[in-house]
C-alpha cells in the first residue's frame, strides 16, 4: 500500500492550487479525481472573475492573497494565465441599490479594500455606451480582475508536478478508511492508499464524499448558465455586475447577471436564475441565451450585434449563507473540508490552498483562526453575506 502525507479528493479550482501549496513545502501528496484530467468538473465552466471586494472578512482575506498570486504568476512562473487587473463595477439604477453599495463600502474600506462609489459620469467612462436612463452610479474596485480558469489550472498542475505532486485521474474514491477516530487511508475503484490527512475539495460532489465519513455538509448544488462571444476590439475593462432582478414570463426570471471582456477580446457572461435550479443537471438550455441577451442589450445596447460562440451550464455548490465551509471536523482527526464555494472557488482557490497547507502543517496565523471560525462547519448559517 502506497503511503502519502496528504490525499486531496478533487482536481479542480481548490484541489490543484492546494496541491501546489503542499508540494512546494515538501509534503508528499496524491490528488484523486474521477474525471480524465484537471479542471474537468465545474472549474472549466467558471467564467474567471476574481474579486476581493466581498463583505465577509474571511473571503476578503482569502481573495486578497489570491489576487497577489494571480497578479504575480507570470513574473514568478512564466505562464500567461490571461490575468487582467481591470476591476469590478457594480452598477446602481435604484436608490435601494445605491444605498446598499455605499453602506457596503464602509465595511469594505474598514478592511483596507480599494473601492469607491462613483456617479454616472465615471460609470459611463468605465462602461462606454452604458444605458444612461436611470443610471445613478456604481462602485468600482480597480484591483479586482479576471483570468482563464483552465490556463491557471494547467499552470498550477505543471508547477505542482515539478514539486513532486502525484495526480491520479479516472479514479473514484469509494471508501475513506479510519482507525481509532483518525484518518488512515482511502480506497478507490483501482487501489488503496494510506494517509493521515484527507482534503475534501470535491466541489458539487463534496457532500457525497463527506458522507463517506458520516459528516454532513449543508451543500445543495444549483445550476447556472454562462456563455462566451467571438473576439471583438477591446472596449470595456471591468467586470460589470447588475444586481437588479428581472421578470421574464417567456424565458424565465433572474436575479443578478455579470459580464466582462477577457484578454482575447471575448465577452464572457453569466446569470443567476430565480428561483434557483437545484440538482446536478449540467445540460445547457435553449432559454438561457435569449434570457441573458435581453438583459445585456438593455444595459449595454452596443452588444446587440455580438456573435455568441457557445453557452454552457455548470453547478454552484451552494451553502445556506453563501460562504464556504473550511476546516477540520469534530471527532475525526485528519479530515479537512474545503467545500461549498458557491461559485467562487476560482477566486478563492489560491489563497485557500495556502491556508490548507497551514492547517496541515499546524502553523496557523491569527488571521487564519478568524477565517476558520467564520467558515466553520459549526457556524450559524443564518447570517447571509450581502452581495454573496
Helices then strands (H, E): number in the chain?
9, 18
pTM equals 0.96
Residue-level pLDDT at 388: 66
Residue-level pLDDT at 191: 97
Domains of the chain plus CATH, in order, are 2-76+149-218+322-374 (3.50.50.60), 88-143+220-318 (3.30.9.10)
Helix (H, G, I), strand (E, B) or coil at 312: strand
Q: What are the helix (H) ranges across the chain?
A: 15-24, 57-77, 95-110, 120-126, 149-162, 206-211, 288-299, 345-361, 366-374
Whether the Cβ atoms of residue 19 and residue 210 lie closer than 8 Å to each other: no
The yes-or-no verdict on residue 369 having pLDDT over 90 is yes
The yes-or-no verdict on residue 386 having pLDDT over 90 is no
Residue-level pLDDT at 19: 98
The yes-or-no verdict on residue 385 having pLDDT over 90 is no
pLDDT over 90 for what percent of the chain? 97
Q: Which three cell numbers stand for residue 61?
A: 482575506
Nearest 5°: phi and psi at 354? -70, -35
Q: Which three cell numbers stand for residue 297?
A: 442589450
Q: How many CA atoms lie within 13 A of 339 on its CB side?
A: 33
Q: What is the β-pairing status of strands 308-318 and 325-329? A: unpaired
Q: What is the β-pairing status of strands 266-273 and 254-261? A: antiparallel
Nearest Cα to Cα of residue 130 among 302, 293, 255: 302
Q: Prior bond to 386 cis, omega within 30?
A: no
Residue-level pLDDT at 171: 97
38-84 per-position pLDDT tens digit: 999 898 899 999 999 999 999 999 999 999 999 999 999 999 999 99
Average pLDDT value for residue range 134-162: 97
Amino acid at each position: 500500500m502506497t503511503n502519502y502525507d496528504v490525499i486531496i479528493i478533487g482536481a479542480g479550482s481548490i484541489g490543484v492550487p492546494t496541491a501546489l501549496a503542499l508540494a512546494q513545502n515538501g509534503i508528499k501528496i496524491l490528488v484523486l479525481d474521477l474525471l480524465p484530467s484537471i479542471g474537468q468538473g465545474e472549474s472549466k465552466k467558471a467564467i474567471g472573475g476574481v474579486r476581493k471586494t466581498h463583505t465577509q472578512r474571511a473571503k476578503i482575506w482569502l481573495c486578497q492573497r489570491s489576487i497577489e498570486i494571480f497578479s504575480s504568476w507570470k513574473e514568478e512562473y512564466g505562464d500567461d494565465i490571461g490575468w487582467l487587473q481591470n476591476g469590478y463595477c457594480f452598477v446602481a439604477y435604484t436608490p435601494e441599490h445605491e444605498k446598499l453599495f455605499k453602506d457596503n463600502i464602509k465595511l469594505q474600506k474598514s478592511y483596507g479594500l480599494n473601492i469607491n462609489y462613483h456617479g454616472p459620469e465615471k460609470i459611463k467612462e468605465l462602461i462606454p455606451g452604458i444605458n444612461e436612463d436611470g443610471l445613478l452610479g456604481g462602485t468600482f474596485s480597480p484591483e479586482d480582475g479576471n483570468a482563464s480558469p483552465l490556463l491557471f489550472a494547467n499552470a498550477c498542475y505543471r508547477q505542482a508536478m515539478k514539486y513532486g505532486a502525484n495526480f491520479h485521474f479516472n479514479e473514484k474514491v469509494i471508501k475513506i478508511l479510519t482507525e481509532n477516530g483518525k484518518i488512515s487511508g482511502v480506497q478507490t475503484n483501482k487501489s488503496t492508499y494510506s494517509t493521515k490527512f484527507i482534503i475534501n475539495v470535491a466541489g458539487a460532489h463534496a457532500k457525497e464524499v463527506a458522507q463517506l465519513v458520516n459528516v454532513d455538509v449543508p451543500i445543495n448544488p444549483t445550476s447556472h448558465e454562462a456563455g462566451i462571444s467571438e473576439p471583438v476590439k477591446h472596449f470595456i475593462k471591468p467586470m460589470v455586475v447588475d444586481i437588479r432582478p428581472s421578470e421574464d414570463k417567456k424565458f424565465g426570471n433572474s436575479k443578478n447577471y455579470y459580464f466582462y471582456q477577457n484578454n482575447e477580446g471575448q465577452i464572457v457572461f453569466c446569470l443567476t436564475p430565480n428561483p434557483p435550479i437545484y440538482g446536478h443537471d449540467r445540460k445547457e438550455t435553449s432559454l438561457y441565451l435569449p434570457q441573458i441577451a435581453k438583459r445585456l442589450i438593455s444595459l449595454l445596447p452596443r452588444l446587440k450585434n455580438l456573435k455568441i460562440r457557445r453557452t454552457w451550464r455548470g453547478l454552484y455548490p451552494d451553502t445556506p449563507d453563501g460562504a464556504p465551509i473550511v476546516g477540520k471536523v469534530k471527532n475525526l482527526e485528519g479530515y479537512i473540508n474545503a467545500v461549498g464555494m458557491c461559485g467562487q472557488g476560482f477566486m478563492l482557490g489560491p489563497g485557500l490552498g495556502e491556508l490548507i497547507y497551514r492547517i496541515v502543517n499546524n502553523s496557523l496565523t491569527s488571521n487564519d483562526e478568524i477565517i476558520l471560525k467564520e467558515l466553520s462547519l459549526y457556524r450559524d448559517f443564518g447570517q447571509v453575506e450581502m452581495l454573496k
